[in-house]
Amino acid sequence: MKAFDLTQLRFDDSGLIPAIVQDAENGQVLMLAYMNQQSLQMTLETGLTHFYSRSRQRIWQKGEESGHIQRVYEIYFDCDEDALLIKVEQVVAACHTGRRSCFFRRLHPSPEASAELTQQQFDPEAVYGGSLAILQQIFDVIKDRQARPQPDSYVSGLFSKGQDQILKKVGEEATELVVASKNGNPEEIIYEAADLWFHALVLLGHHGIAPSEVARELRKRYGKKSKAEYR
C-alpha cells in the first residue's frame, strides 16, 4: 500500500491541524491538541503521540513529563482533510489536571456552567513520583549530545569513542552494582543502579531505541501469564 502523503492534509496558515484524541477501547474523547507536519511524522514513526505547543512554540510528546503517554492505535482524517482523529491507549490520564479526559466540565444542560462530570482524578506525583519522566528527559539530553557533540560533554565523549567504550562502561557499572548489593548499603545500591541505568540509556541512544520501547516490551511481558517472573 502506498504511504499517504502528509502534505495532502490541509494544515492552517500556521502549519497546524487539530487532532482529537479518543480512547481506542471505550471511545471516550480524551483531549484536543494541534499537530504540525513534523509532529505528525514523529507520531507515525514512534507510535506515541507528539503535538505542537502553540504557547511554547515547540513539539512535545504527550507524557514526556508525567509518564502518561498515549500509544497510537489508529489515525483518521476527516472529509475536508483538515482535522485528525487519533485512537490511543491512554496511560493513566490525558488531562494535566490528572483527570482521564480534558472534557470533564459540562456546559449544557446544566444550571451551572461550571458543573463537572464525575471523573476520577489522578495525582501524577502520587502515581509515579515523577520517576518515569526523568528517564525520558535524560534520554533527550543524551540524544542531543549525540547529534550535537560538545567538547566538555561526557556523553559526547562516549559516543565519539564508539560502541565498545559504551559497552565497557555498561559492564563496569553492572559490576559495581553487584558489589554494592553484596555490601548491602541501600544508598550505595541506589547510586550504582542510577549509574547503570544512565549508561544503559546511552547504549539505547547508540542504537536509536527510545526508553518507551523498553517500557512497551516490559508491558507486553507483564501481560503474559507465562512471564511469571514479572509478577
CATH value at residue 92 = 3.10.20.810
Rounded mean pLDDT, 44-73: 90
Question: Which residue among 78, 109, 127 closes a domain?
Answer: 127
Would 84 be classed as within a structural domain?
yes
Domain hosting residue 62, numbered range: 6-127
For 116, list phi and psi in degrees, rounded to 5.
-105, 140
Q: State the pLDDT confidence band at 227, using cuts at 50, 70 and 90.
A: very low
pLDDT attached to residue 107: 81
Residues 11 and 118 in one domain: yes
- The model's pLDDT over 190-224, given as tens digits with 9 standing for 90+, comes to 999 999 999 999 999 999 888 878 877 877 776 55
3-state secondary structure the chain: CCCCCHHHCCCCCCCCEEEEEEECCCCCEEEEEEECHHHHHHHHHHCECEEEECCCCEEEECCCCCCCCEEEEEEEECCCCCCEEEEEEECCCCCCCCECCCCCECCCCCCCCCCECCCCECCHHHHHCCHHHHHHHHHHHHHHHHHCCCCCCHHHHHHHHCHHHHHHHHHHHHHHHHHHHHHCCHHHHHHHHHHHHHHHHHHHHHHCCCHHHHHHHHHHHHCCCCCHHHC
Q: How many domains would you assign to the chain? A: 2
Residues 114 and 139 in one domain: no
Would 102 be classed as within a structural domain?
yes
Residues 149 and 208 in one domain: yes
Average pLDDT, the chain: 85
pLDDT attached to residue 116: 55
Residues 113 and 53 in one domain: yes
Residues 101 and 12 in one domain: yes
Q: State the pLDDT confidence band at 53, using cuts at 50, 70 and 90.
A: very high
- The model's pLDDT over 138-180, given as tens digits with 9 standing for 90+, comes to 888 898 889 888 888 999 999 999 999 999 999 999 999 999 9
Residues 111 and 145 in one domain: no
Q: State the pLDDT confidence band at 16, using cuts at 50, 70 and 90.
A: very high
Would 1 be classed as within a structural domain?
no
- The model's pLDDT over 91-108, given as tens digits with 9 standing for 90+, comes to 888 998 888 899 988 887
Rounded mean pLDDT, 78-103: 91
Q: State the pLDDT confidence band at 111, using cuts at 50, 70 and 90.
A: low
Residues 148 and 204 in one domain: yes
**Rounded distance, CA 13 to CA 19, Å?**
16
pLDDT attached to residue 185: 92
Residues 177 and 148 in one domain: yes
